[in-house]
Structure 1
Amino acid sequence: MAEKETLRERFFRCGKLDDCPVYDLHGHMGPLEGACLPRCNPEDMIAAMDRAGVRLTVFCHHDALFAPDIGNAINLAEVRRFPDRFRAYCGINPNYPDQVARDVEMFDDNRDAYVGFKFLADYFQIPITDERSAPAWEKANTDHLPVLLHTWGGSSYDGPQLVRTCAERYPDAQILMGHSCHGAWKEAAQLAVDFANVYLELTAVLDDRGAVDLFVREAGSEKVIFGTDTPWFNHHYYIGALLGAEMNDDDRRNILYRNAQRILGDMLEM
């Protein structure tokens, strides 16, 4: 009797697998000044997703990060154009606290499109613990929503200690550490161990050999989320790096889709 093929063997033979869908929980959309992003409109993003077997991308439009009054409307419009392929994070920019309050107030009216919130504290130079972001944190905590944070090792805005403070303060918010406190891999893994609501996310992690292996070994694959920062990085590269990492196929399935399905839950049906 022939041995059962591994996910790696099947992916390399077929390119994508219907029984192992991919959920990308860290995406963006739209052009950004000074960046070459040739596949940044939704149609081209969907074509790239189809080639790699990505079933759903959760994104925050670049404009929503820097001009949320404009960009969050684009988030909603694009999800409603392609509801089977996208969900969005509501972009939170604490430089505009009145806008934060309005976006949080309108969140429930847009549950068909939104799954949670996105913070980019290093760019705003406002810590994730700042009170101007509290309305979004409180909403996420009350409703058990995902919060995708940009996190970076050594940052005074979103480094490991600040993530720890937020995890303690908002124990029911589902904290996705975008970039997994980049470079501070052991500290990030320990956060995922210490807090049930904190997850490691793989954008810009898979270019560092051994980091995801450490995450699975220390925190378990149930605490690791697949993300690519699409359209910045390539799905195939990230999937391939995961297929070559030191873990078993059950771990890979957790990371590629099971954890996302569990976190998003009923929001996938809206």
Structure 2
Amino acid sequence: MWGIALIIDAHAHIWYPPSFSLEEFLKWAAKLGIDKLCVSKLPSLRPSSFSSFSEANKDVAEAMKAHPETVLGYCYVNPAYEEKAVREFRKCLEEYGMLGLKLYTDCHCLDPRVSPLIELAVEFNAPILIHTAHIQRRYIKGDPPTVSNSEDVAELARRHPKATIIMAHIGGGGDWEWALKAVRGVSNLMVDTSGSGVDLGMIEMAVREVGAERIVFGTDNFLSSGIGKIRGAELNERDRELILSKNMLRIIERRGLP
């Protein structure tokens, strides 16, 4: 597609049967030209228990084993489990060979219990993908206080300048213009293009505000719209290739994975 040799989805998920089939999901991804997918599995209830996230990580490891050329894994943990969460993350990195860490809404990203996980990620050159609400704090209604917004994720990246942090789904709703401006000066913070939103000009503004070198392609399982927003964006060849492939490939190679 577009003459690009490799397309990497930096933000995808595996879910629970019978509503989800990994084989079908990978088949549809391949039809759309997606070659590799970086996946996590979120426990169905939150705050997640240790048993639920460790079982979810085993499922990701099995998917990696079944599709080694296609599937890379993110470890999912609840930072509230502190040392147990750190040990689980280390196990995912060392034993399962996972790419990085996925954080959701079990804890706010600036909770002190998150820091040991970030430090371990830095040790292994592993990226951290963080679920992010793209809305200013004073406008957040109904969400739990553990939801992190773009300013929070930017502050986390500033506190850990050696970490590679990916802010999730600029297309996931909310005020993406504000979100992009909130993170534009933080060089170790990447943004992914995932989410169902396909607003006109979103990808182009991301390139203007943060630079193509800090954007990675993602779908959050919205495969068709994920590809469509990149296809429809007014991008030059260089920037399109950075977003679809080269930026995430650089992160994967830094982690030492094929």
Task: Tell me if TM exceeds 0.5.
Answer: yes
Tell me the amino acid that sits aligned with residue 224 of structure 2: H
Determine the structure 2 residue equivalent to 1:130: 111
Local SS of the residue matching 1:25: strand
Q: Distance in 1 between matches of 2:230 and 2:211?
A: 14
Residue from 142, 154, 157 that aligns with 1:164? 154
Deviation digits for residues 143-162 of structure 1 (CA, Å, limit 9, x no counterpart): 33210000112355311221
Q: Structure 1 residue 252: deviation in Å?
A: 1.1
Determine the structure 2 residue equivalent to 1:245: 233
Deviation digits for residues 204-254 of structure 1 (CA, Å, limit 9, x no counterpart): 264222211111122221111110011xx1x23322221211221221111
Q: Distance in 2 between matches of 1:269 and 1:161?
A: 31
Q: Distance in 2 between matches of 1:187 and 1:264?
A: 29
Say whether 1:117 aligns with 2:101: yes
Contact 1:141–1:171 (Cα < 8 Å) also in 2:
no
Contact 1:191–1:198 (Cα < 8 Å) also in 2:
no
TM-score by length of 1: 0.81
Determine the structure 1 residue equivalent to 2:166: 176
Residue from 39, 43, 46 that aligns with 1:63? 43
Q: Distance in 2 between matches of 1:183 and 1:60?
A: 23
Deviation digits for residues 86-136 of structure 1 (CA, Å, limit 9, x no counterpart): 011000212433531321332442353x11100112xx3x31111222221
Local SS of the residue matching 1:145: coil
Contact 1:222–1:254 (Cα < 8 Å) also in 2:
yes
Contact 1:119–1:148 (Cα < 8 Å) also in 2:
yes
Point out the more displaced range, 93-102 or 217-226: 93-102
Residue from 9, 21, 28 that aligns with 1:41? 21
Q: Distance in 2 between matches of 1:179 and 1:82?
A: 25
Local SS of the residue matching 1:199: strand
Local SS of the residue matching 2:169: strand
Q: Distance in 2 between matches of 1:193 and 1:90?
A: 27
Q: Distance in 1 between matches of 2:161 and 2:255?
A: 20
Contact 1:199–1:225 (Cα < 8 Å) also in 2:
yes
Structure of greater Rg: 1
Say whether 1:221 aligns with 2:199: no
Say whether 1:50 aligns with 2:30: yes
Root-mean-square deviation (CA), in Å? 2.4
Contact 1:92–1:133 (Cα < 8 Å) also in 2:
no
Counting only pairs closer than 5 Å after superposition, residues 144-223 of structure 1 correspond to structure 2 as 144-152=125-133, 153-155=135-137, 157-180=147-170, 182-204=173-195, 206-223=197-214
Counting only pairs closer than 5 Å after superposition, residues 21-100 of structure 1 correspond to structure 2 as 21-31=6-16, 38=19, 40-63=20-43, 66=48, 67-100=52-85
TM-score by length of 2: 0.84
